[in-house]
Each structure stands twice: as structure tokens, then as C-alpha cells.
Chains A and B, each alone.
Chain A
């Protein structure tokens, strides 16, 4: 899966906006949205929020978890634990990127939030690498990881499966005896 596809899926999450126009309820295939009244907050999917923000038709309210103290707590917890801690939103990385790129003027202390989320991400990816490394070196048959997000899985997924494939082929090639003399095609 492409990271942009993961971002596309992340855009379905709901976020609160304050529009400056009025519109009746709209009926879309994915669900109903609205009605929109100027000055009254309404929950919309992120793709619509970003589009309206770019057209200067709304103000985006940051989600609850996008707050400096909460993110600091999460980061500290992540650093203490050896396994993955549960995080507030399964698409935290994509939402941070989207909201901070398009609506950083509506989010207080945007730079610190960006740093904190990046720190959390780095810690989790480091744990993933360690666990993949131990998986391979101890030649385990299966592993279980809780609380991973789709983006993290996607980052390491292709690489892990491809490299395990190669290692399997290399291992089967090392078998002496009946395979000797024949060449193998990869």
C-alpha cells in the first residue's frame, strides 16, 4: 500500500469545524453532513474540512488529543514501555501532517505539536525495528504486536515481507544433498 493511500483512508476521520457560510444538510453516499450555519461548530470528515479551509470558508478546531500536555504524556509513556502503548487516534501521524500543513494558524503551538508527534513516531518505529530484528535473528514463526497504526504497519510491511521471502529462499538454498548441482531461479 502506498503511503498516500493510507493518507486517503485517514481523511475519513471526523474533525470539528466552524463554518462561515450556511448550507442545508447534504446527503452523501458515505453519510449525511450538516446543516452548516455560520459560527456553529459541526463535525465533518477531514477531506471536506481541508477543502473548505483552503477556500477560506471555515476554521478548523484541533482534535482533543492534539494538545501539548497530552502529547507529552503519550511520548513519555511510549518511551517508558517496551511494547506499544495505545494512542488516541489510529491515524495520528496523517492527521497531524494534514492539519498542520493546511490549518496551522488555527492550531495553537503548532511547532511543538509537530515535534512531539515526530518524537512519538520515532520511538515507535525504533521499537518496530528492534522487534523485527529479534524476529528474524531468533527465526520465530509468528509474532504479535498490539496497538500499531496502519501507517506504521505500512512503513515496515513491504520491507519485512520481502526480506523474509529472500531469507526463506536463501535458507532453502543452503539445504545440502538433493538440490546440489541444480541451479535455482529466484
Chain B
């Protein structure tokens, strides 16, 4: 059931209770969790935070906590599966789900008592109406009526009984035909509804609006919701239109906060957080790196210049020369660049990039500024937190990484954020190197209805790509680069399936599929259902554990038959 007044039906209900917070492992969920934790601290709500990375972890966590808690809040997990059937909770457990995964399972939508969805209904959800899918009551009633008629007919004299019997038989045949038609229609409607997987409004944004409705919103919460939205955009989960719309909403909040504080003549202390809207460069981490490195390792610029080829490198040198930036300046840390160059860097880059065909080098985003040294763009924080979440350096358990990433979002933990930025730089470099090697050695093969790429075991940094978020970033960047490098026009419209070794001891690979690259793509992914069907038909040993149904784990030996099944399924 959708919650219409989030304050009354969600917050006021849990404010005096102990709550279990089950949070998925992505940056948007982290931000939503931070906002909710801040609200809980204000009102002294007792809660238990449990990070969950997949369905199995969710089930074990639920079993552990179901005796102690009645109220469960699920962030970025649980909407796209029949939750009650999977978890089998008691009658009085209530689940509040704030999830960006769509489509929402119809049972979750139409359950009135135990499942409350903290999702705005004006998202284009396309939920089939109740009567199209559920018809149980009517069925039983009619059968009951029928038998009732028969028994009544039985008490009548025999002549009338025969007529009643014929009528009853006809009606039953008619009803069975209707039922078959209705079921066929129902299957079709459900198939259309559940075929494509996509993402809706950021959970961090929903939580921020809750805080705003309660007038408890602070600049920290606004910044977290900005980071959550930017995460959806960096991970390419939402369309450009949606991103721009949501940025507009957040911009209104930003100007409201800025107006409130700069009102007096006395300006604010330098330690206070200042958020500003920027029309900044689409270069990853450029303010914490050198400009040259940032251009080489950002997806947008590297795919446009084709930096894996020598021709591309030359073009980059030309581009820098065109802007009049000396190589020495461009290769040193951004903060140490000459002030005269830094001043109108953005305009200079925009002008030159228009000449080279990069029209979207500048994007709408936000930056935060506190203290004398600390200035971060929203995408910097997203990259840092994502790198911390999937940190493979020390082989720590998943929960340690989760807590570290969660901490790095607070202003007081700047060393963690800087550590995250360092890890993110390493990750971006290895992504670019892997892309360069895949394209140069032609590892992306066209299998007919899709493109396929497999990362061999000996590839450098292959351990990094056993994690779903890193692998999905790699595959998105790889597809963009491939589309620009291939001469085959048909291949440019194909989706990509990426596979990488996940666990060498268990002998599994992680497989994920992404939709084709297009300017006006609606980011809808059909691989979830396709993977399920292919796995069923070949009885491959797969694990559909991830919340995104387009990411699965597969036994290495079953790889070829699984792929063959997919090819037949999708052609």
C-alpha cells in the first residue's frame, strides 16, 4: 500500500517504537540511511542498523530480528519481490519500504496491512489495476452460488430440476471460458508490467522530503539527498530528464537554505556548510587530481577522444594546446595550478570541447564548501563512498566497509572521505586500463541479440570487478567506449552482457546485463527476466541474490549453455 502522508503514517507510527533498519549497500541507500538516522537521533528513536547486500542476507537478518522488532524499515530493497511470501513474517510485523527498484511487485502494492510503500505515486509506475489481477473472492462466490442453485434446484420437483441443471452447466462452461480468458489477459498484463526493470526517485530525496515536512531539515540532510540523487545519475540509473527535474527540486531547497542564512548583514562562520548550485565540468574528481589525469580517466572525455588509441592521445594533446593550457600546469595537482588558469577554466574547456564534439562537458550539479580547505562536488563524494563500499584492500567483512562508507559521509570524518577519494582514483584508473585492453584486443564479441565480454582471470585488478557496482560502472563505460569505436552500425544498438570471475574457490562468475547505449535511452533493463528464464531452461546453477535482478552469480561451467539459452531466448 502506498503511504499518502509520510509523516503521519510512517514517522509518527515508529517514533515511539524500536525499529530495525535494513539498508542495501549502495550510496543512495547510505544517504537515505544517514538522513533517517539524523531524524532518529533528534527524537531519541531506538533503532538497529543492519546492512544487507542481497536477498539471502535480508532473509537471515529478518529471521534474527523478527522476535524483537515489529517495525522494519527497508531502504533500497524489497519492493520488487513478493516480500510476504519470501520472509513469511508474523501477522503484526509491518514493513516500510523506501526503494528505487521498479517495477514494484503487485502483492506489495495491494497489501493493505503489512506493507507500506514510502514511494511517491506520481512516478510513472504503470501499476495494473486491482481487478485485472486479483479475482479470488468473485470466484469462490460464484462457485458457492452455483452449488447453492443446484441444491435449491434439487429440492424442486424433477421437471424443473432438469432445466435448472442445463442452465447451470451452460453457465459453468461460460464461466470457465471467461476465467481462462481473464487468466490469459492477467498473464499478459503481468508480463508487460514486470518485463522491464528500471529505477524511480532517489530514496534519499524521499527521506529529505520527510524531514522537510517535519521542518527538521538541515543543510547536512540536504547535502546527503544531493549525494543520493547524484549517485543515481553517476550509476546511470535514471534518465537525464528525471535527473534534471530532481536537480530543480533540490535547487529550490538549496536557495531556501542559503537565503535563510545569508539574510543578516553578518556573514556566516566559515565552518558552516555552504551548498551551492554549480554548472560544473563532467570530469571525475578533477579538483582532487590533476586536470590531465582527470580528463584521461573520466568516461565522457576518454570515450570521446578514444584515449586507448595513439590517435586519441594525439587528439588530447591538440585539445589541451587549443585551450592554451601548458602541459606542465595541467599535469600537476589541481589546487596548485596557476590561479589565472583556474579562473575561467570551465568556460575555456566548454568552448574547446564544443569544437571537438563534446556538447555535454558541463552538467548541473552541486558543491559543498566548509572550512577553508574543504570543497567537494557531489560526484566526488559519490565516487569516494562507492569506492569505500566495495573496498577489496583489506579483505574485511561487508559490514565494516558499509560502516566506513557511512561514516565518510559525515563532515567530521574527512580522512575517511579522502581515503575514499584515493581508492576511487585507483578504481577509475583500472577501469580505463581494462577498457583500453578490452577494446584493443577485441574482447567484446557480438553474439547476435547482444554483445558479450568476459574478463579473463589473469586480467589486472580483476578482483575489483567481482563487485557488482564496480562491474556495472565498467560495463557502462565499456559500452560507451565500444559504441564510439566500432564501425558496425548494428552493433551500436545492442545491449551488453558482462561476465567476470567472482569467487575463484567456488568457481562462480558474476554476470550482468545493461541496456543499449542511446542518447534518449529510458534505462529500462529486460535482462532480469531473461536471465531467470535462461537459467530455468538450462537448469544452470545460478544465484539471483542481488536486489537488481539483472545481476546474477553463475557457475563457471554452466556459462556456455547459459549464454546459448540467452541467445535463443532473445533472438
Alpha-carbon separation in the docked complex, A76 to B266 (Å)? 23
Taken together as a complex, chains A and B put the C-alpha atoms of A109 and B41 apart, in Å, by 29
A125: Cβ under 8 A from any B Cβ? no
The interface centre, meaning the residue of B215, B216, B267, B269 with most chain A CB atoms within 10 A of its CB, is B269
Chain B nearest CB, measured from A142 CB (Å):
44
Instruction: Report how far A100 CA is from B268 CA in the complex, Å.
Output: 12
B271 at the interface (CB under 8 A from A): yes
List the B side residues contacting A54 at CB < 8 Å.
41-42
The answer to whether A108 touches B216, judged by C-beta atoms less than 8 angstroms apart, is no
CB distance from B43 to the nearest CB of A (A): 7
Chain B residues near A56 (CB, 8 Å)? 42, 216, 218
Contacts of A109 on B, CB cut-off 8 Å?
266-267
Which residues on A sit within 8 Å (CB–CB) of B264? 108
B374 within 8 A of A: no
**Which residues of chain A are within 8 angstroms of B414 by Cβ–Cβ distance?**
none
Identify B269's interface contact among A20, A55, A57, A104, CB under 8 A: A104
Given A56-B216, A56-B218, answer yes or no on A105-B269 (Cβ-Cβ < 8 Å). Answer: yes
Q: Encode A90-131 as 1/0 by CB contact (under 8 A) with B.
A: 000000000010001101111100000000000000000000
Q: How far is the CA of A57 from the CA of B268 in the complex (A)?
A: 20
**Chain B residue at minimal CB-CB distance from A107:** B269
Do A104 and B271 touch (CB < 8 A)? yes
B272 on the interface (CB 8 Å rule)? yes
CB of B13 within 8 Å of the partner chain: no
CB distance from B268 to the nearest CB of A (A): 6
Contacts of B339 in A (CB 8 A): none
B271: nearest residue on chain A (CB-CB)? A104
Distance between A147 CB and nearest chain B CB, rounded to angstroms: 29
Q: Does B270 contact A (CB under 8 A)?
A: yes
Residues 168-220 of B at the A interface (beta carbon under 8 Å): 215-216, 218
B269 touches A110 (CB 8 A): yes
Knowing A55-B41, A55-B43, the reply to whether A104 touches B216 (Cβ < 8 A) is no
> Most chain-B Cβ atoms within 10 A of its Cβ — which of A20, A55, A56, A104?
A56
Task: Using CB atoms, name the residue of chain B closest to A20.
Answer: B215
Q: In the bound complex, how far is the Cα of B266 from the Cα of A104, in angstroms?
A: 12
**In the complex, which residue of chain B has the Cβ closest to the Cβ of A109?**
B266
* Closest partner residue, chain A, to B39 (CB atom): A56
Bound together, the chains give a CA A104 to CA B43 distance in angstroms of: 22
Complex Cα spacing A159 to B447, Å: 80
In this complex, the interface size class of chain A, counting residues with CB under 8 Å from chain B, is 10 to 19
Residues on A with beta carbons closer than 8 Å to the beta carbon of B270: 111
At the interface, yes or no: B261 with Cβ under 8 Å from chain A? yes
- Asked if A104 contacts B272 (CB within 8 A), the reply is yes
Q: Smallest CB-CB separation from B211: which chain A residue?
A: A56
Q: Nearest Cβ in chain B — how far from A79, in angstroms? A: 25
A111 to B215: give the CA distance in the assembly, Å.
28
Query: How far is B264's CA from A111's CA once the two chains are assembled, in angstroms?
Result: 15
- Chain B nearest Cβ from A181, distance in angstroms: 59
Looking at chain B's contact residues, the main secondary structure is loop
Give A48 Cβ to nearest chain B Cβ, in Å.
14
Complex CA–CA separation, A66 to B218 (angstroms): 25
Of A20, A55, A57, A108, which one neighbours B266 at CB under 8 angstroms? A108
CB atoms of B42 and A105 under 8 A apart: no
- Say whether A55 contacts B42, CB under 8 Å: yes
Neighbour of B42 across the interface among A57, A108, A111, CB < 8 A: A57
- Contacts of B41 on A, CB cut-off 8 Å? 54-55
Chain B, Cβ-Cβ closest to A52: B42
Shortest distance between the CB of B253 and any CB in chain A (Å):
16
Select from chain A the residue with minimum beta-carbon distance to B266: A108
A87 to B179, CA, bound (A): 89
Contact A105 B43 (CB under 8 A): no
Interface residues in B218-269 (C-beta closer than 8 Å to A): 218, 261, 264, 266-269
**Residues from chain A with Cβ under 8 Å of B271 in the complex:** 104, 110
List the B residue with the shortest CB-CB distance to A113. Answer: B269
Contact with B along A132-162 (1 / 0, CB 8 A): 0000000000000000000000000000000
- Chain B residues lying within 8 Å of A110, measured Cβ to Cβ, are 268-269, 271
Closest-CB distance, A126 to chain B (whole angstroms): 27
A111 touches B216 (CB 8 A): no
The answer on a CB contact under 8 Å between A105 and B266 is no
Residues of chain A contacted by B267 (CB below 8 angstroms) = 109
Is the CB–CB distance between A105 and B216 below 8 Å? no
Give the one of B218, B268, B270 with max A CB within 10 A.
B268
Chain A residue at smallest Cβ distance from B215? A20
Q: Mark B267-281, 1 if CB is under 8 A from A, else 0.
A: 111111000000000
Q: Which residues of B are found within 8 Å of A104, using beta-carbon distances?
A: 268-269, 271-272
A109 CA / B265 CA spacing, docked (Å): 10
CA distance A109 to B269 in the complex (A): 6
Q: In whole angstroms, how far apart are the Cα atoms of A111 and B266 in the complex? A: 11
Q: Which of B43, B261, B269 sits near A111, CB closer than 8 Å?
A: B269
User: B261: which A residues are within 8 A, CB to CB?
Assistant: 105
Q: Cβ of B215: which chain A residues have Cβ within 8 Å of it?
A: 20
Residues of chain B with a CB closer than 8 A to A111's CB: 269-270
Q: What's the Cα separation between A107 and B268 when bound, in Å?
A: 8
Assess A100 versus B216: contact at CB under 8 Å? Given A55-B41, A55-B43, A56-B42.
no
Nearest CB of B to A110, in Å = 4
Query: Whose C-beta in chain B lies nearest to the C-beta of A105?
Result: B272
For residue A164, give the distance in angstroms from its CB to the closest CB of chain B: 40
The A20-72 residues at the B interface (CB cut-off 8 A) are 20, 54-57
In the complex, which residues of chain B have a beta carbon less than 8 angstroms from the beta carbon of A55?
41-43
A104 to B269 Cα, complex, angstroms: 7
In B428-475, the 8 Å CB interface with A consists of: none
**Residues of A contacting B43 in the complex (Cβ-Cβ under 8 angstroms):** 55
Question: How far apart are the CA atoms of A124 and B266 in the complex, in Å?
Answer: 29
Sample of 6 further A-B pairs with CB below 8 A, known A54-B42, A105-B272: A20-B215, A55-B43, A100-B269, A105-B261, A108-B264, A109-B266
Can you pick out 29 interface pairs between chain A and chain B where the beta carbons lie within 8 Å of each other?
A: A20-B215, A54-B41, A54-B42, A55-B41, A55-B42, A55-B43, A56-B42, A56-B216, A56-B218, A57-B42, A100-B269, A104-B268, A104-B269, A104-B271, A104-B272, A105-B261, A105-B268, A105-B269, A105-B272, A107-B269, A108-B264, A108-B266, A109-B266, A109-B267, A110-B268, A110-B269, A110-B271, A111-B269, A111-B270
B: which residues have CB within 8 A of A? 41-43, 215-216, 218, 261, 264, 266-272
Binding site for B on A (CB under 8 A): 20, 54-57, 100, 104-105, 107-111
- What 9 A-B pairs are tightest by C-beta distance, nearest first? A108-B266, A110-B269, A104-B269, A55-B42, A109-B266, A111-B269, A56-B216, A105-B272, A56-B42
